[in-house]
Every structure is written in C-alpha cells, then in structure tokens.
Chains A and B, each alone.
Chain A
Amino acid sequence: MSERSERGPAHKTLEIGMALLIGAFGLVVIFGSLKAGINWGAEGPRAGFFPFYVGAAIVGASAINLWSARRDDDGRLFASWGQLRQVMSVVVPTAIYVGSMPFIGLYAASMVFIAWFMRWLGGYRWLTTIAVAVGMPVLTYLVFERWFLVPLPKGPFEEWLGL
C-alpha cells in the first residue's frame, strides 16, 4: 500500500468503470450492426459486417481489461478529490458554455465563459478580464464572419444588433 496523503477515488474503481463503459459502447455497436445486416452478401460484406466484429472485439478486449483491472491492487489513487474539483471547475462551466451555445449564440456565450474563467479561476482584475472577454469574441467575429465568411452560431443578442 502506498502512502495516502490525500483522499480520492481509487485508480482501480476508475479502471473498472472505464472497462465497463467501453464494453457497453461495444454492445451498442453490435446492436447497431445487427440492425444494418452483418452477413456476407452476394457482393461482399454488408454494412454491418465490419462494425459487428469491431464491436465484438471491443467487448472482448474490455472483458480482459476488466479482469486485469480487478486484479490490479496497488491502491493507487486516480486523483485526489482536490484535483478532481479543479478538473470539474473547468468541465462544468464548459458544459454550460457548450450547452447554451445553440440558444444564445457563440459570441455572447464566449464572453460570459471567458469572463467567468478569468475572474473566478484566474483571479484577474475586472479590467483585464473584460478586455479579454470582449476583445476575443469581437476579433473572432471579424476574422470568421467578415474575412472568411464563415457564419458562427448567433443568438437573440446578435439578432438585435443586426449582425
């Protein structure tokens, strides 16, 4: 047993979880391939032929990974709770950012996201924060929409501005 200075989920738990998750994905693939037809038709393999064996290989490999993960017993931590909290402090806002994009558009969402990140995680002064949070989307707008004519998702805010 290694020395534990901090607490957190065991590496083993995550390994097992990952193997199960990937195995489940394999099952979904097998199920989908069965729907597409997995036999060898008159003109070579049908649409589901390859995915079926790929799915089977995923399930097989995951079973072995699961077995070796269960034997694995060195008591390592996956990460400490503190570290995971740090990671989640990025994942959760990014998820909100990404999830809100279809509704409020990319630009407004980006401003809020950058500002939030810099102010609360980075601890920057408001002035710096706002300069970057506003500057970056404006620059993006100019580069993508004006120069390269690539439309990015827009929301009511841009509609109101008539962009």
Chain B
Amino acid sequence: MEELANLFHGFAVALQPYNIMLMIIGITLGVIIGVLPGLGGANGVAILLPLTFSMPPTSAIIMLSCIYWGALFGGAITSILFNIPGEPWSVATTFDGYPMAQQGKPGEALTAAFTSSFVGALFAVIMITLVAPLVAGFALRFGPAEKFAVYFLAFCSFVGLSKEPPFKTIAAMMMGFALAAVGLDSITGQLRLTFGVTELLNGFDFLIAVIGLFGIGEILLTMEEGLAFRGGNATINLRVVLQTWRELPAYWMTSLRSCLIGCWMGVTPAGATPASFMSYGIAKRLARRGNNFGKGEIEGVIAPETAAHAAGTSALLPMLSLGVPGSPTAAVLLGGLLIWGLQPGPMLFVEQKEFVWGLIASMYLGNLAGLLVVLTCVPIFAAILRVPFGIIAPLILVLCAIGAYSVHNSTFDVMLMLVFGVLGYLLKKCNYPLAPLVLAIVLGDKAEEAFRQSLLGSQGSLGVFFSNGLVSTIMALGLVALFWSAIQEGYSRLRTAMA
C-alpha cells in the first residue's frame, strides 16, 4: 500500500506545529467567513490568497483548505439560528434547522449539523484517499449532456411532491428560472432581460435572493407578533452535544445515502448546493417521518449537511486531478495552486506527492480540528438566541445588508435584497413555496447552459440525452424521482390488489 505510506508521510507534514497553527487559524477564519453572509468561502479564500504567498505551498494550501472547511461549518450556524444561509449550500439546512431552533432545540440542530458535516467530509476524504485515480477517470466522461442529466436529476429529486398547491409551486419555480436567466446569456454572449439597466448585467445573484427571501422575510414574519418574541430558553451547555450524539446513529441510513449523493455530485462536478437539495429531497421521500420534514426533523438537518460537505470535499478531487474546479471556492484554490507554480492535473499526484498527501492529510486533521472548534462553541452560538429580538433584529438586518453588498460590491443589490425580503414575506403568507424558487435560481442557468451546449454538439438533436449508457441512466433516474409519488402509489395499489 504505497498510498498509505504516502498518507502517513502526509500526516507528518500536516502535523508540524507551524502547520497545525495555520490549520486552527484557517478554521477560525473560515467559520467567521461562513457566518458572515455574502463573504462566502470563495470570496474568503480569494481575499486571503495573497497573504499566503510567503508560505511554502503545502502550508498555504493547508491554511486555505481549512478556511474552506471552516466556511462549510460556519454556513450552517446562521441558517439554523436566523434562517439566513451564510452559504448557498446551507439553504436546505434552514428547512428543518431553523424550526428546530425555534422549538428551543438550537443546540441539537447545531450539533447534528456539525457532526453530519464532519461525517460527510470524512467519507469523501476516505474516498479520495482510496480511489482518487479511478474517480478522476470517471469525471472525464462528463460532457455537457451528462452534466445536464445530473442537474435534471438533482432538480427532479427535490421537486415532485410538496404540500403546497401545485400551480403555486410551478409559479414559484418558474420565477426562479426567469430570475436566473437575467443577464448575459453565456451561449450566445448576448444580454437578455436586462432592459438596458446596467445593474442587471450581473443577473440576480442567488445569495441576494436567499438573504432576502429567507432572512429578511423571516424577520418580517416575526415582526407580526411584535417584539415580544424571545428565543427559546433551552438548557445550553455542552451536554446537549452528547445527548444529540446518542440520537444520531439511528439515522445511519440517511447519512450513508447523503454521503454517496454528496460524493457523486462533488465529482461530477455539480457542486455542494445541488447536492444538499437533492439529498434533502430524497431523505424527505424515504424517511419514515418524511411527512414531518420542514417542521424541525433532525433528519432534515443531517441529510443536506452531510451531502454538502461530502460534495464540498470531493469537489477538490476533480480540481487536483483534472484542474476542473467543482465549486467556486475550488476555483479560487485552483488559482492559488497555479500561482504557486503547481499544475493541477494528472501529473500532480506523481510529481508533487508531498503536497498532495499533505493536503489530503490536512483534510482529515482539518475537519477533526474544525469539528472540535465548532462543537465547543455550540453553547455560545445557541446563546445568541437569548439576545432580545429588539437588539438582534437590527444587527441581523445590517449584516444582511453587508452580505448583499459584498456579493458584487453593489448598493443596488442591497435594495434588491429588501425587495426580495418583502416578496418572501408575501409569498410565504400566500403559501407559495420558496425552496423550488431558490433551487431554480441556483440550477437554472447552469442547466440551461449544459442543455444548449449539448444541442450545439449534437447539432440540434435531442437524442444526445439518451446517446450513451451513462447519460440515459441518469436521465431515467431523474424521471423516476420526478414521478416518485405516482410510482409509489401505483406500487402500493398493486400490492393491495395482489393481496
């Protein structure tokens, strides 16, 4: 086992005191970056990239990847406490995490989120350690048609069944697609739906929509009840961590499934955000208490968090072995590698062993360190909910404004955020589901791009989506997911008929 020997050498590199120090600094900065909405992982890493130039490449990448882990952990905190996703992939965490916090169980939700993140990341790192070359070869088979199929599958497994009236779901989803289409059309290089407004060149950013719809919308809903609102007075101490841990093994099936979904989405590379939605959607269908999803089920926190981290971690694999970033943050890390003179690609694993295995070892250690850091802080985070609403609400609003601004450095986006906030409040009151809208904004333009790239390649023939085994399988899975409830019903009817 040459790999194992390399890995242990990697541990030796990562465990040098200097590198451990960088790891802890990185995790802490990452958590801060993850918590502050708008200052996402990609921005955070990009901002700190130049600071690492004076370090040796291995130390630099250890610190930067730890910022990345930290941001992954941190994104869940504001989602659970305030319904504001600090990162796109923690949107799905709000669905059950926020209700849990509202019911006075913020500690449980945070512990479940952090632990699941760790499990997902660990699973992905083990996969990277063992089967890196194999998986890298698999990723090469993904052309535009296959990518479209993956987006299609992610989408179908999330929508399909919901409690809201179907035409409201359609209206909300289509609004998401329309918003995603605004700006530059990447296939023809043409501007569309901008109506000559300079501010719309950028299109509608997902984060701004989410900060508005979820964060501001929630504050407005809370305001209906007046300022009497107080946070849950749950017992807040470290015991809650242990109690939650005792519960978690019961959900091993969800965890495993989410790990697999996450790794798959990270490698293909569709990224962490679709992975979290897909995992949530599938867990909702398959879990015994699936009907309770959205009302504060711990499983609804485990599923998206595990998948998001598994995807976020495995996204580094195509980056290292092929030079294709699986996420915006990975794209920035990739830039870092190039700046340090390391060329990601097939030769990196051969020529830069110390670097690659140092990085992989730091994934193990960084995640462990991250878990310890955030878990010890659970009581502190949970205690934030005890701050009276009259103080915390303006602070949240200011943070949201900063977040919306720093996405594109534009004050127009801040106004947009408020518009989305009011819209979110109205939509929620009128029973329009927000999640399909958000998912459509995330996946809309990517899916359309892949679709049209495929058609360019096939010269307009739709047969390209069923042209080989891989793409046909994924498309078929997508259709199954879409019509899952119908299939399930048919199956149960068949069984009663047989019996």
Interface positions of A (Cβ within 8 A of B): 11, 14-15, 18, 22, 25-26, 29, 32-33, 35-36, 40, 42-48, 50-51, 54-55, 57-58, 61-62, 64-65, 68, 78-79, 83-84, 86-87, 89-91, 94-95, 97-99, 101-102, 106, 110, 113-114, 117-118, 121-124, 128, 132, 136-137, 140, 143-144, 148-153
Contact = CB atoms under 8 A, between A and B. Distances in A.
A45 B452 contact: yes
Given A61-B167, A123-B390, A40 B174 contact: no
B278 to A, nearest CB: 22
A55 B175 CA distance: 8
16 contacts: A25-B175, A25-B178, A32-B195, A43-B455, A51-B178, A61-B170, A65-B165, A95-B418, A98-B418, A101-B401, A113-B394, A121-B227, A122-B391, A136-B395, A136-B398, A150-B47
Interface stretch (B103-111, B155-163, B185-193): B185-193
B39 A150 contact: yes
A86 B427 contact: no
Contacts of A25: 175, 178
Q: Is the interface of B mostly helix, strand, loop or mixed?
A: helix
B401 A97 contact: yes
B405 interface: yes
Contacts of B432: 18
B220 interface: yes
A121 B460 contact: no
B47 A54 contact: no
B390 to A, nearest CB: 3
Interface in B10-62: 32-33, 36, 39, 43-44, 47-48
Nearest to A83: B224
Contacts of B394: 113-114, 117-118
B255 to A, nearest CB: 34
Given A47-B190, A68-B167, 7 more contacts: A22-B175, A33-B193, A43-B455, A91-B422, A122-B389, A124-B391, A132-B395
Contacts of B430: 11, 14-15, 18
Contacts of B331: none
Interface in B369-406: 388-391, 393-395, 397-398, 401-402, 405-406
B426 interface: yes
B288 interface: no
Given A18-B427, A113-B398, A153-B405, A61 B171 contact: yes
A72 B332 CA distance: 52
Given A78-B429, A98-B418, A106 B167 contact: no
A150 B171 contact: no
B405 A149 contact: no
B202 to A, nearest CB: 16
Contacts, number: 183
A128 B390 CA distance: 12
B177 interface: yes
Interface stretch (B341-349, B407-415, B488-496): B407-415
A102 B397 CA distance: 17
A98 B414 contact: yes
B159 to A, nearest CB: 14
B168 interface: yes
Nearest to A132: B391
Contacts of B459: 43
B230 to A, nearest CB: 13
B181 A94 contact: no
- Rank and list the top 9 A-B pairs by shortest CB-CB distance, nearest first: A122-B390, A44-B455, A117-B394, A32-B193, A61-B171, A36-B192, A47-B185, A83-B224, A61-B170
A21 to B, nearest CB: 8
B402 A22 contact: no
B219 A114 contact: no
Nearest to B460: A44
Contacts of A102: 411
B223 A86 contact: yes
Contacts of A140: 398, 402
B455 A121 contact: no
A83 B429 CA distance: 13
Contacts of B421: 91, 94
Interface in B447-477: 448, 452, 455-456, 459-460
B249 interface: no
Contact of B192 (A47, A64, A144): A47
Contact of B226 (A61, A68, A86): A86
B425 interface: yes
Nearest to B412: A102
A119 to B, nearest CB: 10
B342 to A, nearest CB: 25
A160 to B, nearest CB: 20
B391 A118 contact: yes
A50 B448 contact: yes
Interface string B191-204: 11111000000000
A29 B429 contact: no
Contacts of B226: 86
Contacts of B397: 90, 94, 97, 113, 117
Nearest to A151: B409
Given A15-B430, A18-B427, A122-B390, A58 B174 contact: yes
Given A14-B429, A47-B190, A117-B394, A36 B227 contact: no
